[in-house]
Amino acid sequence: MVKGNTAERYRGSTVAPLADGEGWDFIRAEARQLAASEPVMEPTLRLITQARTNAELLGGILASRLALARIDEQSLATLLAGLFDADSDILVAAEADLRAVLARDPACPGLMHVLVNLKGFQALQTYRAAHRLWLDGRTEVANWLSNLASLLFGPDIHPAARIGRAVMLDHGSGIVIGETTVIEDQVSILQNVTLGGTGKETGDRHPKIRRGVMIGAGAKILGNIEVGAYSKVAAGSVVLKPVPPRTTVAGVPATVVRIHRVDEIPAAEMDQTIV
């Protein structure tokens, strides 16, 4: 039996106090409570309360959103759940993403809210399914699924990009992540961020975002350049050169405006100030 409130147990902590996998139990408990108090939502919440496995739960929620584009919902749910069952790392990453949002967003009431309502999270998990398809050589269906997710959720994430765990796409709208982008663990990206190329380059041509980085709203990071670990890119900046670890960059073009303390983790703190 799950006890306690997820927001209370996660808020403000970068290290989740629950065991791996227990987040899904919290989501089921929250769904049962909400279904009892808000009957209008009960049919939607059956996707959570009646799911036999965590893979089926996540696949069902995503399929219910993606199927708005006149795709057969059950076929899509079967595809997604199969991918999540076959690659357990996806569910581990998804749970880390859930925890990251709850820890970093003070307006977030619980894990189920992230799963059901936040399009940045939903887009990221759809990317994870598309990336698995890409790695399996099913590139056409991977691109189809990525395009569908972009149309419905907003973020445009190439299925070949490599994205780590505990990543938050805050709001999600307008985010573009190119084919050879690498995003490490514990990164926060706000709306209208572009991780793109600089023109007609081929090969490895997109940014490498290291652990603990926060990228502010509207920032553009262009080319095969590295944003060092635990750095911050200020909102509206255009980054064309590598960013050293533990620094804040701002401006057009971006320059270093601050050196961080060793204990600062911008992605977790979500502090938008630049001085």
Give the Cα separation of 187 and 221 in Å (integer): 14
pLDDT digits (tens, 9 = 90+) for 109-162: 899 999 999 999 999 999 999 999 999 999 999 999 999 999 999 999 999 999
Q: pLDDT class for 12, splitting at 50, 70, 90?
A: very low
pLDDT exceeds 50 at position 4? no
Sign of the alpha-carbon torsion through 31, 67, 139, 178: negative
Most confident of 78-82, 175-179, 202-206: 175-179
- 187 Cβ partners below 8 Å, 6+ apart? 164, 166, 167, 168, 209, 211, 212, 213, 214, 215, 267
Q: Which tops the pLDDT comparison, 20 or 31?
A: 31
Provide the token pair at 141. 């269906």
Average pLDDT, the chain: 90
What count of Cα atoms within 13 Å lies in the side-chain half-sphere of residue 245? 9
pLDDT exceeds 60 at position 14? no
> What percent of the chain has a predicted confidence (pLDDT) above 90?
71
Give the Cα separation of 235 and 211 in Å (integer): 19
Give the Cα separation of 93 and 99 in Å (integer): 10
In the predicted model, what is the mean pLDDT of residues 31-47?
85
Radius of gyration over every alpha carbon of the chain, rounded to an integer in angstroms: 18
Give the Cα separation of 140 and 130 in Å (integer): 10
pLDDT exceeds 90 at position 102? yes
Structure confidence at residue 13 (pLDDT): 45
For the full predicted model, state whether its pTM sits above 0.95.
no
pLDDT exceeds 60 at position 1? no
Structure confidence at residue 199 (pLDDT): 82
pLDDT exceeds 70 at position 6? no
Catalogue all structural domains in the chain, each as residue range(s) with its CATH number.
6-155 (1.10.3130.10), 174-269 (2.160.10.10)
pLDDT exceeds 70 at position 11? no
Residues 62 and 47 sit within 8 Å (Cβ to Cβ)? no
Strand, coil or helix: 203: coil
pLDDT digits (tens, 9 = 90+) for 211-267: 999 999 999 999 999 999 999 999 999 999 999 999 999 999 999 999 999 899 999
Structure confidence at residue 8 (pLDDT): 56
- 127 Cβ partners below 8 Å, 6+ apart? 146, 149, 155, 157, 159, 161, 163
Give the Cα separation of 85 and 171 in Å (integer): 28
Give the Cα separation of 149 and 156 in Å (integer): 8
Q: pLDDT class for 9, splitting at 50, 70, 90?
A: low
Structure confidence at residue 22 (pLDDT): 83
Structure confidence at residue 15 (pLDDT): 44
Provide the token pair at 243. 């960013």
